[in-house]
Structure 1
Amino acid sequence: MLIRHLSSRLLLTAAASVAALTAVPATAHADTGPTRIPPSPYGSLDGWGGGALGTVGGDHLTVSVVDAGAGKDGTYDLRCHPDRGTHADPAGACKRLDELADDDQDPFAPVPKGTYCTMQYGGNATAHITGTWHGHRVDSSYKLTDGCEISRWRRMVPVLPATTP
């Protein structure tokens, strides 16, 4: 008798729970799935070519350099808009990144897959840049292992130190 009472009570509780859940309107659910954010009415402000308007709040990067030579190795803080930090040339580095972004180039883009590169070696130097630039997360590595990578590094001077192969 007690088991029959408990099982009918459990069944009644389960039925009441299902009824309560199905009575909630769909718009009240917290998980509504992925949502597409509409494009910005301000054009390039949310892209790389944002200029000063696209960088409200400033940009913050950490630049780490290894094996680039005496006085060039280390980890540096770079903040732009306004330009400051422990980087050797924050104004020059921020200006260079702005120039690349104003030309609608992603300053941190890797060499595209399938690109033919000259077989040359520019040295042991490596660099890693992390942080936020123009509202985008940055996690980019640099090396001097072939002509494409050497060119990519040189394009980032003075963000990265100048090296001589």
Structure 2
Amino acid sequence: MRRALLAAGAVLLLAGCGGGDPTSAPATSSGPASSGPTSSSAPGTTTASPGAPAVGGTALTVVVDPDGSGESVVVGTLSCDPTGGDVPDPDAACAQVAAVGPAGFAAPDPGAVCTQQFDGPQTATVSGTVAGQPVDAAFSRSDGCAISRWDALSELLSTTR
């Protein structure tokens, strides 16, 4: 009986963290699915319709703090369709943005169960539009869920050229 409970707990823990695929973890990267727009005044929120593909009308400003100090921020821009901007690889960044859509910029689910791991002090904020939807999101690498969100948009959040 104890093994069954431990196994069930492990499955729940892993399910809450997602598999690293931004489309398979809506609870950790985009919140619960809904049929209409969502809004909130908290950082990392969006007014996007979850699951909507990013196909045009994408223009973003990204501010990355690579060491978390607040002193050495890097600001970049990205536009898609047509592709441009000064992130290191605009084509790859646009592909990632299209893959996650506006939902990839939604605030993380505060009740999500995430692995307690730390992958660095980096932070980033992204604002603008994705597929015509306004977005304003905050990113970090402070736990397993946050790392998955960051990795899904790694080309956008990269600071090296």
> TM-score w.r.t. structure 2 length?
0.60
Which residue of structure 1 aligns with residue 115 of structure 2?
118
Structure 2 matches for 1:53-92, cutoff 5 A?
55=56, 58-67=57-66, 74-92=74-92
Larger Rg: 1
Q: Deviations over 1:91-137 (max 9, x none)?
A: 11011111223xxx712022212111111111110000001111111
Partner residue of 1:141 out of 138, 141, 155: 138
- AA partner of residue 66 (structure 2): D
> SS of the residue aligned with 2:99?
helix
Task: Please give the alpha-carbon distance, in whole angstroms, between the structure 2 residues aligned to 1:66 and 1:108.
Answer: 18
Give the superposition deviation at 1:51: 5.2
Structure 2 matches for 1:10-159, cutoff 5 A?
47=49, 48-50=51-53, 52=55, 55=56, 58-67=57-66, 74-101=74-101, 106-159=103-156
Preserved CA contact (<8 Å) 1:68 1:161: no
How many pairs align? 110
Q: Where does structure 2 lack aligned partners over 5 or more consecutive residues?
A: 1-35, 37-47
Give the superposition deviation at 1:65: 0.5
Preserved CA contact (<8 Å) 2:53 2:100: no
Task: Supply the RMSD in Å over aligned alpha carbons.
Answer: 2.8
Preserved CA contact (<8 Å) 1:62 1:131: yes
- AA partner of residue 59 (structure 2): H
Task: Please give the alpha-carbon distance, in whole angstroms, between the structure 2 residues aligned to 1:158 and 1:50.
Answer: 18
Preserved CA contact (<8 Å) 2:88 2:158: no
Pick closer, same or farther for the CA change 1:63–1:80 going to 2, 3 Å.
Answer: same
> TM-score w.r.t. structure 1 length?
0.58
Pick closer, same or farther for the CA change 1:68–1:79 going to 2, 3 Å.
Answer: farther
Report 1 or 2 for greater relative contact order, CA contacts < 8 Å, sequence distance ≥ 6: 2
